[in-house]
């Protein structure tokens, strides 16, 4: 296949696949719970891909990614809810999703990016673990501000009114409190995954991604070749936040999903899930983030399914303290510890499923460094030191 | 600054062959540079000028503050007092990345490569700041981005060929031998297209023959790229053989400055440490002279 043909056929095939999923998803996966899970896994893939930019490629430890997902979710829910009303309410149609989703996702991504800049700019100037603490604090502040907001009764002031509008612990269910319109069907969610993979891939294999990976390896050396560490770290953090915001937007309006956006969806446990996805798959690997996102989502579901089994139910009747959801953390911890012992670099390490062909060109007209004379080579042999330069011959 | 130029002239012309102009501009001028860490005075009032296109040695016993001077020039540390001028541009207020972009490249005493990156990628990072195509064209894989990448690849491979590393371009840099890692560090520094190259102990771990090769290579790099080279080195075979001027530090202070011959005979230097390093009876005799 010629490259030009491939450049046309591959995108066409992808668009076809995504549209096909939109039309045939319910026939393909008849069980609504599994559909929800599949879409949720795809959202998580976007979350993992975005977190991979800052944690995997840039090597900065952000542990509050759920905060950005949450900001995106609330933003998209508000935008989508109001747009839905403006369009006259009624049924959610595939056609009208082309008006609602781009705007909702754009808003979700932009607002998350702004928060990413606010959080990243001061903390990424500092070296070390400041980012971890600041991001953790940020995510918890975001969640608690919404969860503990005073709702009902009379609230004064624009900020308090806005927070009350978000519904506190009960969550936000659209402007008329009938649920956020679920515009994000398979087309949008799988489409977002395809785009996110493409963007993550191209970022990784661009000069920018190379500089980020260099930064992860050695910050001082990176600065010594003219790359400003702060600028690259902040940019990557904002990109990660944007991706998380868009994932949140998809989560809020996911078809077959929860029509209410609740603060409890964005606890530290979710941030931890996101980190697990990245590390499990392999820090810095795009393929790894995909595999990690899917694997972690389905593990959660498997544990829930286990809980429904009769044997487990009867066991729980005997031991009322048994809570498999709590066991999830034990399972994760065991998997992570096992992985750190057996494969410390994650399933993929930094590698990818598809090998990228190296760009090799035969250099013309380069004069090599002056070669050593025979006498010098002989002298080198006499020397007892390790002949370090030998391998180049 | 003219005063400094004449001073450099007094301490012997930087060029032994005398073919070039006797009055040369300075690439780098350090004036009264000090740095204190806690109570430790690592560098105390160091002043020296490095003439353009010269090979300049910075030597001294362990803990003399040589690497600290490098870190001050490259902005890793900020000097407490004093000025560092590079082609009439003040460096002491700039950030490391800005200093690098101004044309100051360096290598590190304890090799600092980007371990998980390939040999080629290590070198490519150094031209990141010259890249014309931005993030958006990288995402779109535009014509400009691909041309940029191809040009950079070509340039990087040429440089790797100079250092005989082109055949291992796709290996990770950690898999290289020690000597090749040192050469890769120099190749990476050269990709920055610097005006001045700071080499921190490039001969560490090299045997006699390799050190002889290194001397040749340093001279060759200077001539080929019109570089100014500053060398921190313990290997006297290299320092005395290649440097045109030598500046000697001990405990953060300047104790001598001059041509290799002058420094070799300087009693203060010999007292500080050089006596044991220089072979031959002459050195032995002069050390005894200095001691008496």
How would DSSP label each residue in B215-282? HHHHHHHHHHHT-EEEEE-S-HHHHHHH-SEEEEEETTEEEEEE-HHHHHH-HHHIIIIIHHHS-SHH
SS3 A366: coil
Instruction: Give domain limits for chain B.
Output: 1-103+195-258, 116-193
Which of B113, B28, B114, B8 is CA-nearest to residue B70?
Answer: B28
Chain segment A236-287, per-residue pLDDT in tens: 999 999 999 999 999 999 988 888 999 999 999 899 989 989 998 988 999 9
Sign of torsion over alpha carbons A185, A189, A190, A192: positive
Exposed/middle/buried for A377, CB within 10 Å: 0-12, 13-18, 19+?
A: middle
B110: contact with A, CB 8 A cutoff = no
Higher-scoring residue by pLDDT: B36, A358: B36
Among A226, A228, A235, A346, most B C-beta atoms within 10 A, so best to mutate, is A226
Considering only CB atoms, B217 lies closest to which of A208, A369, A385, namely: A369
pLDDT score recorded for residue A75: 97
Both structure tokens of A170: 């009960």
Chain segment B190-233, per-residue pLDDT in tens: 999 999 999 999 988 888 888 888 899 899 999 999 999 999 99
For tokens 């956020």, what's the residue? A180
pLDDT score recorded for residue A374: 45
The secondary structure of residue B118, as a DSSP letter, is: B
Half-sphere exposure of A72 (CA within 13 A, CB side): 32
How far is it, in rounded angstroms, from Cα A102 to Cα A294?
25
Helix (H), strand (E), coil (C) string for B151-209: HHHHHHHHHHHHCCCHHHCCCEHHHCCHHHHHHHHHHHHHHCCCCEEEEECCCCCCCHH
How far is it, in rounded angstroms, from Cα B253 to Cα B45?
7
Is the pTM here over 0.95, yes or no? no
Please enumerate in sequence order all residues whose Cβ is within 8 A of that of A264, keeping only pairs 6 or more positions apart, or say none. A147, A169
Chain segment A369-391, per-residue pLDDT in tens: 665 444 444 544 444 343 444 33
For tokens 């493409």, what's the residue? A198
Q: What is the CB neighbour count within 10 angstroms for residue A32?
A: 11
Higher-scoring residue by pLDDT: A391, B242: B242
Size of interface A-B (CB pairs under 8 A): 206
How far is it, in rounded angstroms, from Cα A49 to Cα B67?
40
Strand pairing of B26-37 and B81-86? antiparallel
Question: Residue B48 forms beta bridges with which residues?
Answer: B30
pLDDT score recorded for residue A372: 47
Half-sphere exposure of B82 (CA within 13 A, CB side): 23
Both structure tokens of A66: 């759920």
Distance of CA A28 to the CA centre of its chain: 26
Q: What are phi and psi of A293, to 5 degrees?
A: -60, -45
Considering only CB atoms, A210 lies closest to which of B95, B124, B170, namely: B124
How far is it, in rounded angstroms, from Cα A324 to Cα A301?
11
CATH class of the domain whose range is B1-103+195-258: alpha beta
What kind of architecture, by CATH, is found in domain A10-267?
Orthogonal Bundle (1.10)
Both structure tokens of A274: 């996101």
Distances (CA, A) of A39 to A173, A302, B107: 20, 16, 50
B172: contact with A, CB 8 A cutoff = no
Both structure tokens of B20: 């070039």
pLDDT score recorded for residue A367: 59
Using an 8 Å CB-CB cutoff, list chain A residues near B206.
385, 388-389
Please enumerate in sequence order all residues whose Cβ is within 8 A of that of A12, keeping only pairs 6 or more positions apart, or say none. none
Using an 8 Å CB-CB cutoff, list chain A residues near B150.
359, 361
Question: Residue B89 forms beta bridges with which residues?
Answer: B86
Residues B130, A258 contacting (CB under 8 angstroms):
no
Both structure tokens of B231: 């060398």
Core vs surface per residue A319-341: b (16+ CB within 10 A) or e = eeeeebeeebeeebeeeeeebee
pLDDT band at B125 (very low <50, low <70, confident <90, very high): very high
For tokens 């060398």, what's the residue? B231
Both structure tokens of A78: 């508000």
B76: contact with A, CB 8 A cutoff = yes
Whole-number percent of chain B with pLDDT over 90: 52
- Per the document, the length of chain A is 393
- For the question of an ipTM over 0.85, the answer is no
Chain B residue with CA closest to A378: the answer is B209
Both structure tokens of A168: 């506190």
How far is it, in rounded angstroms, from Cα B239 to Cα B260?
8
Half-sphere exposure of B178 (CA within 13 A, CB side): 13
B20: pLDDT strictly greater than 80: no
Strand pairing of B253-258 and B89-90? unpaired
Residues A127, A58 contacting (CB under 8 angstroms):
no
Cβ of B207 within 8 Å of Cβ of A211? The answer is: no
How far is it, in rounded angstroms, from Cα B148 to Cα B153?
8
**Closest chain A C-alpha to B156 CA, distance in angstroms:** 9
pLDDT in tens, chain A (393 residues): 677 888 888 889 999 999 999 888 888 888 888 888 999 999 999 999 999 999 999 999 999 999 999 999 999 999 999 999 998 878 888 888 999 999 999 999 999 999 999 999 988 887 768 889 999 999 999 999 999 987 776 778 888 888 888 988 889 998 888 889 999 999 999 999 999 999 999 999 888 999 999 999 999 999 999 999 999 999 999 999 999 999 999 999 998 888 899 999 999 989 998 998 999 898 899 999 999 999 988 887 777 777 777 777 788 788 877 776 677 678 777 877 888 888 888 888 888 877 666 555 555 545 566 654 444 445 444 443 434 443 333
Please enumerate in sequence order all residues whose Cβ is within 8 A of that of A137, keeping only pairs 6 or more positions apart, or say none. A64
pLDDT score recorded for residue A361: 53
Report the pLDDT averaged over residues B238-242. Answer: 92
Please enumerate in sequence order all residues whose Cβ is within 8 A of that of A170, keeping only pairs 6 or more positions apart, or say none. A151, A260, A262
Both structure tokens of B57: 């040695």
For A179, left (φ over 0), alpha (ψ -120 to 50), or beta? Answer: left
Residues A33, A300 contacting (CB under 8 angstroms):
no
Using an 8 Å CB-CB cutoff, list chain B residues near A387.
179, 207, 210
Query: In the structure, how many helices (H) and strands (E) does chain A have?
Result: 15, 0
Chain segment B272-289, per-residue pLDDT in tens: 865 454 444 444 545 455
pLDDT score recorded for residue B23: 59
How far is it, in rounded angstroms, from Cα A32 to Cα A18?
19
Chain segment B62-71, per-residue pLDDT in tens: 888 999 999 9
């Amino acid at each position: 296949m010629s490259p030009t043909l491939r450049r046309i056929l591959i995108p066409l095939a992808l668009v076809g696949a995504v549209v096909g999923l939109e039309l045939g998803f319910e026939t393909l996966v008849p069980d609504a719970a599994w559909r929800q899970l599949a879409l949720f896994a795809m959202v998580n893939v976007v979350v993992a891909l975005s977190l991979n930019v800052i944690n995997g490629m840039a090597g900065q430890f952000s542990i509050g990614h759920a905060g950005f997902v949450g900001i995106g979710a609330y933003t998209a829910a508000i935008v989508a809810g109001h747009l839905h009303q403006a369009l006259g309410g009624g049924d959610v149609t595939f056609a009208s999703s082309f008006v609602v989703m781009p705007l909702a996702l754009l808003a979700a991504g932009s607002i998350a990016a702004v928060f990413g800049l606010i959080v990243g700019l001061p903390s990424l100037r500092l070296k070390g673990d400041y980012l971890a603490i600041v991001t953790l604090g940020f995510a918890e502040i975001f969640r608690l501000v919404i969860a503990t907001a005073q709702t009902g009764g009379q609230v004064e002031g624009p900020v308090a009114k806005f927070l009350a509008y978000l519904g506190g612990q009960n969550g936000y269910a659209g402007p008329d409190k009938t649920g956020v319109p679920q515009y994000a069907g398979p087309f949008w969610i799988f489409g977002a995954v395809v785009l996110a993979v493409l963007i993550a891939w191209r970022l990784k294999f661009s000069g920018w991604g190379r500089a980020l990976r260099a930064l992860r390896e050695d910050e001082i050396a990176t600065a010594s070749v003219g790359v400003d560490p702060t600028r690259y770290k902040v940019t990557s953090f904002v990109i990660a936040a944007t991706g998380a915001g868009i994932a949140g937007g998809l989560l809020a309006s996911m078809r077959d999903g929860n029509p209410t956006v609740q603060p409890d969806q964005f606890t530290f446990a979710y941030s931890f899930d996101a980190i697990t996805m990245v590390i499990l798959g392999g820090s810095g690997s795009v393929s790894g983030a995909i595999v990690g996102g899917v694997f972690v989502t389905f593990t959660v579901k498997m544990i829930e399914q286990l809980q429904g089994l009769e044997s487990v139910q009867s066991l729980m009747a005997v031991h009322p303290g048994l809570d498999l959801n709590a066991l999830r953390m034990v399972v994760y911890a065991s998997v992570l510890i096992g992985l750190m012992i057996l494969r410390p670099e994650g399933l993929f390490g930094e590698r990818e499923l598809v090998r990228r062909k190296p760009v090799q060109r035969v250099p013309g007209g380069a004069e090599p460094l002056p070669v050593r004379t025979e006498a010098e080579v002989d002298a080198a042999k006499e020397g007892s030191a390790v002949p370090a330069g030998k391998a180049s011959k | 600054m003219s005063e400094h130029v004449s001073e450099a002239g007094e301490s012997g012309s930087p060029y032994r062959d005398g073919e070039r102009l006797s009055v040369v501009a300075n690439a780098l001028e350090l004036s009264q540079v000090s740095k204190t860490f806690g109570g430790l005075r690592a560098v105390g009032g160091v002043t020296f000028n490095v003439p353009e296109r010269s090979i300049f040695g910075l030597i001294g016993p362990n803990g003399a503050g040589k690497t600290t001077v490098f870190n001050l020039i490259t902005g890793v540390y900020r000097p407490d007092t004093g000025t560092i001028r590079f082609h009439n541009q003040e460096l002491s207020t700039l950030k490391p990345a800005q200093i690098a972009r101004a044309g100051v490249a360096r290598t590190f005493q304890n090799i600092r490569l980007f371990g998980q990156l390939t040999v080629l990628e290590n070198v490519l990072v150094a031209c990141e700041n010259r890249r014309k195509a931005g993030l958006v064209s990288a995402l779109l894989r535009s014509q400009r981005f691909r041309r940029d990448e191809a040009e950079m690849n070509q340039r990087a491979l040429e440089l790797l060929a100079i250092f005989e590393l082109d055949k291992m371009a796709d290996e990770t840099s950690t898999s290289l031998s020690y000597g090749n890692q040192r050469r890769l560090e120099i190749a990476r520094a050269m990709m920055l297209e610097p005006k001045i190259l700071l080499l921190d102990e490039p001969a560490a771990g090299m045997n006699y023959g390799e050190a002889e090769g290194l001397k040749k290579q340093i001279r060759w790099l200077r001539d080929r790229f019109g570089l100014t080279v500053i060398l921190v080195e313990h290997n006297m075979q290299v320092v005395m053989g290649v440097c045109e001027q030598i500046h000697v530090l001990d405990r953060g202070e300047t104790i001598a400055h001059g041509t290799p011959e002058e420094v070799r005979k300087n009693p203060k230097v010999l007292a500080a440490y050089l006596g044991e390093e220089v072979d031959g009876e002459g050195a032995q005799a002069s050390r005894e002279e200095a001691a008496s």
